[in-house]
Chains A and B, each alone.
Chain A
Amino acid sequence: MGTFKTAAVIGASVGIGAEMVRQLAAGGVRVAAVARRLPELEALQAACGGPERVSVYSHDVRRFEEAPSLFDRICADLGGVDCLIYNAGVMPRVEESEYNFGKDREMIEVNLLGAMAWFNPAGAYMEARRAGTLVGISSVAGDRGRRGNPAYHTSKAALTTYLESLRNRLDRYGVHVVTVKPGPVATAMTEGLKLPLMIPAEEAARGALALAEAGTGVGYVPRTWSPIMLTIQHVPSVIFRRTNI
């Protein structure tokens, strides 16, 4: 981890987020781990070498108004933030023929609005500093609107587009904005689902951090998804709707 001295991971208690915290801390990066569940965070902190290496903050990303002041506090605690990773995401199961606004709203709030609430103060901070890296963990799911979970696909497609705009806005100030699109990852979110090319969270975290370090604009994890999604994106809608993809 040569590029960053400090990093903040939002959505850090389990899954890819917790793995990223572990790998960043192991690489000598001072990390702020942010998530709702404090016990998980504290266990992670202990496993990563204690408060010297990892600071933990309890925060629900749906409490949007808390994000700017918490961001300021993390900046003060860590002496700056070189890299901010927004990893928080939910994907509640939506059954065939289920139309559930409550679930839809939760996905938009956690996967998309929470990201905006964090990237706003972080973007301003990095623009003023003329340096930094913002990373959004989007998904292959954002590349196409599949039949299974409309709101999840929407939240990730919107996040991908939001990150593209942010990249176009911040590139001229020397700030990198990285869109990571993992395929299925074996975490609690995907437990019990049969999905293709599933990778462990550890591998997904390594792939995401490599993209962050390189400042790559958009990258798939693993890379195998790149040609697959290119193909899927070009399937005409009239055919796509007849498939079970």
Chain B
Amino acid sequence: MLPPLPSQLPRRVFDGFGYSTRSVSGFVDAGSVAELQAAFRYAGEHGLTVGLRGSGRSYGDAAMNGGGLVVDARRMKRVLAWDPATGVADLEPGFTIEDMWRTFLREGWWPAVVPGTMFPTIGGIAAMNVHGKNCFKVGPWGDHILEADLVAPDGNVYRTSRTENEELFNAAIGGFGMLGAFSRLRVQLKRVYSGGLRVRGHYCRDLAEQFAWFEEYTQKSDYCVSWVDCIAGGASLGRGQPHSAVYLHEDEDRTPDFDPAHQDLPGHILGVPRALVGTILAKFNTNLGMRLLNFGKNLASRFGPKSEVIQGHVAFNFLLDYVPTFRDAYRPHGFVQYQPFVPKESAQEVFTNILRLTQARGVPSYLGVMKRHRADEFLLSHGLDGYSFALDFPVTPANRAVLWKTLHEVSDMVCEAGGRFYPAKDAVIRPDHFQRAWGQARIARFNALRAMVDPARRLRTDLAARFGLCGPEGA
């Protein structure tokens, strides 16, 4: 598996899911705990750093390690244990959200939390403490992880949970892979009583209405998410289309259909084959084209039907997978997805300022998504009692400098408001933003745990280096 000399390692160019950041690394895959340990040992013998990577669904540089070694453990994807009575599963880290619903929905269990795409691995999800559209109600993924085995660079496998090595448990979940590689995760799935959800679309004329909508609907829904038109200005600033969804209760669906095959996404969108939608979107991928597209979507959501519909779990949750080629529209220079989290008291003000500033600078977001969150117990959690605003920005050689400058200013505003950022998405924040958002005390505790399980500082990612947690590229 590993060659005698590191110079004989195959090299790979890795990019982020947003295509806007790239680096070259040595590459090896690991199919077992022993192989993960061998990779750490090898790195130690040859003075290499190690970055962990799963499906590579992080938008920025979280799963990259330029100049070092990247270890991919996707071959570890077995179900080690499963109890259909309780919905508790022991999974290897390469098991994906897609594997989860295809395996467990048949028995009436659905992942308690899912992101907008089904392809991330549970290992990556735990490392990033991924959240979903139901975060306000059930918290992030970490709240549904019962135990985690962590293969650390010191050679040990730490069994962690809320009662065993609990500090390590709380730091490794959401610790973006800086404390070790997960080799087993015990997770709690959610019992569902139907293959569908009751979904309802709404319309908000401006940002104030969006916030009012969230206050109302988070009280009576299981999922809440809103699309925000980030190009419209003036009185329409922040207009958009929220969606709410609720699970069906027991006995509400007399003939529940749990067949995963019936959950698959349609092959066509508005008559266009899904694979071609990205190519067509590319034609609109300019400020003007997006203005048109947003205007059309705005009209459709404003005057379209608002009645409740039953939609499959997959169709409702995996919006990104509807258009698997959507990101190709941003080629060749890619895009960044920037997602600040802001406490509820100041969220409306900060989001208003973000929209105004990005519009004024000529770098409006092409896609904005708002969600409501709750605080959680994890050491480097991005979650707080407030709102998040995920924003896609196209990157071009012409706008790159302005975009980064603008987003650094936005990050200052977010820090000022006591906000945080989402490492799974981030590609832009600086060490000072990381320090301010999480605070010296938490970072010091995190570094103390690193000193324990990774005394030689083997673990490194381009993101951790950008946050100021380890040396520069190639170090």
Contacts and interface: CB of A to CB of B under 8 A. Distances in A.
Interface in B12-31: 12-13, 22-24
A205 B119 CA distance: 51
Interface residues of B, number: 12
Interface in A137-171: none
B12 A69 contact: no
Contacts of B5: 65
A65 B24 contact: no
Contact of A124 (B6, B7, B12, B332): B12
Contacts of A125: 24
A124 B8 contact: no
Given A124-B13, A127-B13, A128-B13, A69 B7 contact: yes
B11 A120 contact: yes
A217 interface: no
Contacts of A120: 11
A66 B22 contact: no
Contacts of B13: 124, 127-128
B23 A65 contact: no
A128 B22 contact: yes
A172 B13 CA distance: 14
A66 B7 CA distance: 7
Contact of B11 (A66, A121, A174): A121
A172 B8 CA distance: 27
A68 interface: yes
A121 B10 CA distance: 9
B7 A128 contact: no
For B6, B7, B11, the residue with the greatest tally of chain A CB atoms inside 10 Å of its CB is B7
Contact of A128 (B8, B23, B474): B23
Nearest to B6: A69
A72 B5 CA distance: 15
A112 to B, nearest CB: 18
A172 B328 CA distance: 13
Contacts of B7: 65-69
A124 B474 CA distance: 15
Contacts of B24: 121, 124-125, 128
A230 to B, nearest CB: 35
Contacts of A72: 474
B48 to A, nearest CB: 12
A242 B332 CA distance: 52
B294 to A, nearest CB: 30
A127 to B, nearest CB: 5
A119 to B, nearest CB: 11
A127 B332 CA distance: 12
Contacts of B22: 127-128, 130
B12 A65 contact: no
B9 to A, nearest CB: 8
A65 B13 CA distance: 19
Contacts of B23: 128
B8 A65 contact: yes
A120 B26 CA distance: 12
A130 B8 CA distance: 24
A109 to B, nearest CB: 16
For A67, A124, A130, A174, the residue with the greatest tally of chain B CB atoms inside 10 Å of its CB is A124
A72 B24 CA distance: 11
A66 B6 CA distance: 10
Interface in A80-122: 120-121
A124 B13 CA distance: 6
Contacts of B12: 124
A120 to B, nearest CB: 7
Interface of B: 5-8, 11-13, 22-24, 332, 474
19 contacts: A65-B5, A65-B7, A65-B8, A66-B7, A68-B7, A68-B8, A68-B11, A69-B6, A72-B474, A121-B11, A121-B24, A124-B24, A125-B24, A127-B22, A128-B24, A130-B22, A130-B332, A172-B332, A174-B332
Q: 3 tightest CB-CB pairs across the interface, nearest first? A: A128-B22, A69-B7, A124-B11
Given A69-B7, A127-B22, A174-B332, 13 more contacts: A65-B5, A65-B7, A68-B8, A68-B11, A69-B6, A72-B474, A120-B11, A121-B11, A121-B24, A124-B11, A124-B12, A124-B13, A172-B332
